Amino acid sequence: MDAASRPTIFALSSGRPPAAIAVVRLCGPRAGAALEKLIGRVPKPRQATLARVRDPASGEVIDEAITLWFPGPHSETGEDMAEVQLHGSPAVVAAVFEALRTFEGCRPAEAGEFTRRAFENGRLDLTAIEGLADLIAAETPAQRRQGFRQLKGLIGDRAEAWRQHIIAALALIEARIDFSDEADVPEDLLGPALRSAKELRDEIAGALAKSSRGERLRDGFAVAITGPPNAGKSTLLNRLAQRDAAIVSAHPGTTRDAIEVHLNLGGYPVTLIDTAGIRDSADPVEQEGIRRARERVAMADLVLWLTDASADSAEAGGEVAENLSAADVWVLRNKIDLVGDKCCARNESLSTNESKKTFLISALTGAGIEPMAATLSATVQEFFSATEAPMVTRARHRRALEETISALDRALAHGPSGSEELVAEDLRSAATTLGRLTGRVDVEDLLDVIFRDFCIGK
Q: Note the residues at the interface with ligand GDP (CB under 6 A).
A: 229-235, 248-250, 255, 277, 334-335, 337-338, 362-364
Rounded to the nearest angstrom, the gap between the alpha carbon of residue 218 and the centroid of all alpha carbons in its chain is: 4
- Would you say 166 or 258 has its CB closer to ligand GDP? 258
Nearest 5°: the CA angle 135, 141, 147 is 25
Sheet architecture: strand order including 268-274: 259-265, 268-274, 221-226, 302-308, 329-334, 357-360
- Would you say 45 or 371 has its CB closer to ligand GDP? 371
- Would you say 120 or 257 has its CB closer to ligand GDP? 257
- Would you say 79 or 274 has its CB closer to ligand GDP? 274
- Would you say 251 or 388 has its CB closer to ligand GDP? 251
Closest distance of CB 337 from ligand GDP, Å: 5
Closest distance of CB 456 from ligand GDP, Å: 40
- Would you say 311 or 350 has its CB closer to ligand GDP? 311
- Would you say 140 or 307 has its CB closer to ligand GDP? 307
Closest distance of CB 357 from ligand GDP, Å: 18
Closest distance of CB 283 from ligand GDP, Å: 15
Closest distance of CB 287 from ligand GDP, Å: 16
Closest distance of CB 250 from ligand GDP, Å: 4
Q: How far apart are CA 369 and CA 360, in angstroms?
A: 8
> Of 453, 454, 435, 390, which Cα lies nearest the Cα of 166?
435
- Would you say 85 or 255 has its CB closer to ligand GDP? 255
Q: Which residue is nearest to ligand GDP (CB)?
A: 232
Closest distance of CB 260 from ligand GDP, Å: 14
Q: How far apart are CA 228 and CA 238, in angstroms?
A: 17
Closest distance of CB 252 from ligand GDP, Å: 6
Closest distance of CB 329 from ligand GDP, Å: 16
Closest distance of CB 334 from ligand GDP, Å: 5
- Would you say 213 or 335 has its CB closer to ligand GDP? 335
296 and 273 Cβ atoms separated by less than 8 Å:
yes
- Would you say 128 or 369 has its CB closer to ligand GDP? 369
